[in-house]
Structure 1
Amino acid sequence: MTDGDLTTEVKGISLITEQAKEVLNQRQLIDYRDHREKLIRWMLNLGKDPSSAEGYAYHTARRRADDCDKFYRWKWSESGYTTDVTHDDADAYMRELVYGDRSASYKTNIQKTLKMLFQWRSWEYDEDKWEPQLSISNSRGATQPRDFLSREERQQIREVALEYGSVPHYNSLSPKGRKKWKRYLARRFRKPMSEITKSDFERANGFKIPSLVWTSLDAGLRPIEVKRAQVQWIDTDNAVLRVPADQAAKNNEHWTVSLQQRTAEMLERWLEERQLYQKYAETDSVWLTREGNPYQSHSLKYLLEQLCDLSGLSTDNRSISWYSIRHSVGTYMTREEGLAAAQAQLRHTSVQTTMKYDQAPVEDRRDALNRMG
């Protein structure tokens, strides 16, 4: 392939930037060019509204193509060449921009570009869409954590996790009632009603969901950490998670994360129960979905929405996702023990990342108003 081939354009938008040429070898350039061509053609023809086959205007597509190139080059400077960028990469990139001297408008545009990039990856590779950790306001030039759960809401979610998906005890049901619940479990476990047994009733009342939710409420697990969590992380005797450096989500450090004793007990019960299920026989993953897949952002968001609905918590005018649990941990740990404790609990390498949680929760501000009279 000649150098001229590498400068091929799509409707005036360069597939290979001069900056990319400086850091990639010939084979990498070929791969990156093909990757960029798919993205740029999608932007021009579908990107604005894929359902209506409406693309972006040329100038918008060119600017976003340039912004994507900067993001990819940042990723390469961190860990070498790849086109497989992740949600964690996008969040880390945005955190760096937040503490830079760029304008709020620039930061907002970059976030829009990254959302578009992961919308394309969802279209092209069937990946999850990106839900940014930071919400960036162009008008105020500020960044805030996404909506977090209050203390009361955390307690409600913790308690309702014990009820989620539960069914009456097998022996307490009449034949008619048992038939009704068997029909429900047949749909839930996707098996014939004739194959539903007493063990399925016990399975429905298992400890998977409570252990997942309670551990996240204590450790502020990111969706990627729920996905990566290994049995070896769990030390129930000492009520901690021990996350090895090579499995940490955003850094290469070992982390020891505190858990409540009741959470450790819930995990211990789940680990015992977990051994009964065939889908865990050849994996060290702590939690898998009903279909035997790792949890993703969308499945965790759905679970949290179900828990909110079950507990009567309104999500109107709020941006609720699994990160709402993590942000509540950061906010209240900062209020109770300070930034250093929150930094360790949330596994941040830099205290600057934790500083966004140094804010007064709404109940603290209400108490202040009451004292003010």
Structure 2
Amino acid sequence: MGFEPQDFPVTTRHSRGVLSEKELIDYRNHRAEFIRWLIYLGKDPEMAEGYSRDTITNTAYRTDQFCRWAWEQEGGYTLTLTHEHADEYMKELLYTDDSATHKANTQKAIKRYYKWLAHEKNADEWESERSFSNSSSGGPREYLTIEERKKIREAALQYGSIPHYSSLSPEERTRWKAHLAQRFGKPKAEVTPDDWERANGWKFTSLVWTSLDAGLRPIEVERAKVSWVDVENGVLRIPKEDSAKNEGNWVVGLTDRTADGLQRWLDEREQYDRYDGREELWLTREGNPYQSHSLRRLLVKLCDEAGIPTENRKMSWYACRHSVGTAMTHERDLAATKAQLRHKSEQTTMQYDNVPVEHRQEALERMG
């Protein structure tokens, strides 16, 4: 897995602010044990399968908040969190203005906590008195329509681009130099024509187009390697050790357009020192792999450029993945979606079997 408890919020600023020194040591040890279990065993203890980075991070934050709520109820620090605590916390959550998604995810996080207590501390698992739905339908919560996918693809082609150096007047070049100096973190006097080419590069385009084709999870963008790319055959070859679920080797189809963009990026990538000796396919300006928060910011910026409203929508990188699943199911079938999205279970793929009723009615007409 490659994670350790210290990679996650074992304690938070809020909990550190209310605990004594000895209480904090005790709480930190308790939490580190819990997070280690989430990493290596949490999802399926019998198969020794842990959760993803995002799930562990979210669980850590939400359970820390639950602990602090319990301390307020008890008038001080305690690690004896009963089922009654959990039930009362859910009851209070019910009457908040938080979204249904937040409520459902909080409930799941607390269930994971009591599952750990059951497996490791000989306690009983918790069954909530009520359940929260994180979606009003059976389909994915984060979603781009086919038209929005096209707009995002075009926006990725333009994202970060600037006018060609030779087409600018001296005054315009001065303004753009100031922009590039800020963008690349260097003095204005050191900006060269090469920086123009760098600004118009293929990194973001290839990253976005590949994700729109392959439905890359954030952790897969983070782990993506040059060795995955097979431009000649138009596929990504993701080995088992790099796959998000560590479940097998995958061959994922790409469009000719995406394959061409990847080839252009691979050629360009060789020009940048930060990639020397590195296998990562994409790195941030700081030389780090992309992660969920940076990918979400990128998607929101692309939506802004494409004129796609994001108000009242949950928008993360998974929107690209879910759009692949829904579109592939409509265009082909669940078997194709299962293979393209690298699902182990048919049940996971079934969430995309939400063909609109009018399409089904048309199918019935054709069937006679």
Q: Can you list the C-alpha shifts for 1:106-150, whole angstroms capped at 9, x where unaligned?
A: 976542438999xxxxxxxxxxxxxxxxxx844989764222000
The verdict on how the C-alpha distance between 1:317 and 1:75 changes in structure 2, with shifts beyond 3 A counting, is: closer
Q: CA deviation at 1:79?
A: 6.4
2:325 to 314, 319, 330: 330
| Residue in structure 2 matched with residue 132 of structure 1 by the alignment | none
The verdict on how the C-alpha distance between 1:116 and 1:208 changes in structure 2, with shifts beyond 3 A counting, is: farther
Rounded to whole Å, the distance in 1 between the matches of 2:329 and 2:338 is 9
Q: Please say if 1:220 is aligned against 2:188.
A: no
Q: Can you list the C-alpha shifts for 1:164-199, whole angstroms capped at 9, x where unaligned?
A: 100111111111110100000000000000000000
Rounded to whole Å, the distance in 1 between the matches of 2:266 and 2:56 is 31
Q: CA deviation at 1:247?
A: 1.1
Q: Please say if 1:152 is aligned against 2:147.
A: yes
Rounded to whole Å, the distance in 2 between the matches of 1:266 and 1:139 is 36
| Residue in structure 1 matched with residue 228 of structure 2 by the alignment | 233
Rounded to whole Å, the distance in 2 between the matches of 1:279 and 1:268 is 19
SS in 1 for 2:251: strand
Q: Please say if 1:113 is aligned against 2:81.
A: no
2:338 to 336, 339, 343: 343
| Residue in structure 1 matched with residue 160 of structure 2 by the alignment | 165
Q: Which stretches in structure 1 are left out of the alignment for 5+ residues?
A: 1-30, 55-60, 92-104, 118-135, 369-373
Alignment check: 8 A CA contact 1:146 1:320 kept: no
| Residue in structure 2 matched with residue 287 of structure 1 by the alignment | 282
Alignment check: 8 A CA contact 2:224 2:281 kept: yes
Rounded to whole Å, the distance in 1 between the matches of 2:112 and 2:200 is 38
1:267 to 262, 268, 283: 262
Letter in 1 for 2:322: H
Letter in 2 for 1:336: E
Rounded to whole Å, the distance in 1 between the matches of 2:343 and 2:281 is 23
Q: CA deviation at 1:71?
A: 5.2
Alignment check: 8 A CA contact 1:331 1:361 kept: no
Alignment check: 8 A CA contact 1:137 1:143 kept: no
SS in 2 for 1:145: coil
1:209 to 204, 207, 219: 204
Rounded to whole Å, the distance in 2 between the matches of 1:273 and 1:139 is 42
Q: Please say if 1:46 is aligned against 2:14.
A: yes
Q: CA deviation at 1:217?
A: 0.4
The verdict on how the C-alpha distance between 1:311 and 1:170 changes in structure 2, with shifts beyond 3 A counting, is: same
Rounded to whole Å, the distance in 1 between the matches of 2:162 and 2:111 is 43
What is the TM-score of this pair, normalised by structure 1?
0.67
Q: CA deviation at 1:162?
A: 0.9
SS in 1 for 2:236: strand
Letter in 2 for 1:77: P
Alignment check: 8 A CA contact 2:206 2:265 kept: yes
The verdict on how the C-alpha distance between 1:145 and 1:116 changes in structure 2, with shifts beyond 3 A counting, is: farther
| Residue in structure 2 matched with residue 3 of structure 1 by the alignment | none
- Structure 1 runs of 4+ with >2 Å offset: 68-82, 84-91, 105-117, 136-144, 360-368
| Residue in structure 2 matched with residue 87 of structure 1 by the alignment | 54
The verdict on how the C-alpha distance between 1:248 and 1:181 changes in structure 2, with shifts beyond 3 A counting, is: same
| Residue in structure 1 matched with residue 127 of structure 2 by the alignment | none
Q: Can you list the C-alpha shifts for 1:203-245, whole angstroms capped at 9, x where unaligned?
A: 0000001100000000000000000001010000110000111
Q: CA deviation at 1:351?
A: 1.2
Rounded to whole Å, the distance in 1 between the matches of 2:254 and 2:44 is 36
Alignment check: 8 A CA contact 1:167 1:204 kept: yes
Rounded to whole Å, the distance in 2 between the matches of 1:258 and 1:81 is 27
Letter in 2 for 1:238: N
Q: Percent identity?
A: 48
Q: CA deviation at 1:329?
A: 0.2
